[in-house]
A and B are shown apart, each in its own frame.
Chain A
């Protein structure tokens, strides 16, 4: 017999409350598992060159997500989920993130200048995309 671990929400019978939204935890369902998180500053560019790299050392392509602070100056924190496009008086840029079996890559393409630094906040999980 397969052994499982379930924790139900308050007021829900853990034996009969089988719907996933009645459970705090169920070993029937996988979850995202943290591997690495951090920030990286990336200077914007005007072409498709990647100019920010984080090594994850997993040997497979992991689940990852990233946010970018569209304001280059401190105190103007406004993190946007990647990919993100934004336009201002002197900025028209797109912030992107990619991954392979070795690294997560970041770039911010600013078609107007290529002289600003942006901060990416990234989360890399242990979950193997398998692709």
Chain B
């Protein structure tokens, strides 16, 4: 007999519940594991400047990242700073290859700035 481990939400019968959204944990479905996480920063002095982080996975992994701009707000990839310092200024994106996570920044007409990137590397591969 296959052994399973399930933890249901409060008020749900773990033996009879069938809706997976009502389980805190269910060993019959994979978990979305975070293999690595970290931060990176640099002073951006030109358009297209990159911050590169080796992910050390040997394959191209799923990942996600956030960026804290000098205005104090945290933005998703493909966004500018919330303050809209200038059109196309202080805008960033995130990409990857088999070796690195690559974070690319625009500076535009704004002053030099130092964004802080938080990245997560996940278990699934692309």
Contacts and interface: CB of A to CB of B under 8 A. Distances in A.
A and B pair up: yes
B14 to A, nearest CB: 16
B78 interface: yes
Nearest to A109: B84
Contacts of B118: 129-131
Interface size class of B (residues with CB under 8 A): 20 to 34
Contacts of B25: 25
Interface stretch (A71-79, A95-103, A112-120): A95-103
A96 B33 CA distance: 26
A32 B34 contact: yes
A21 B31 CA distance: 10
Contacts, number: 81
A24 B31 contact: yes
Interface in A3-55: 7, 9-10, 20-21, 23-26, 29-32, 48, 50
A123 interface: no
Contacts of A58: none
Contacts of B30: 9, 24
Contacts of A9: 30
A98 B33 contact: no
B123 A21 contact: yes
Contacts of A25: 25, 27, 31
A131 B31 contact: no
Given A30-B37, A98-B82, A129 B66 contact: yes
B106 to A, nearest CB: 15
Contact of B32 (A10, A32, A96, A100): A32
Contacts of A91: none
Contacts of A130: 39, 118
Nearest to B83: A48
Interface string B66-89: 101000111111110011100000
Interface string B25-67: 1011111111101010000000000000000000000000010
Nearest to A32: B32
B74 A30 contact: no
B2 interface: yes
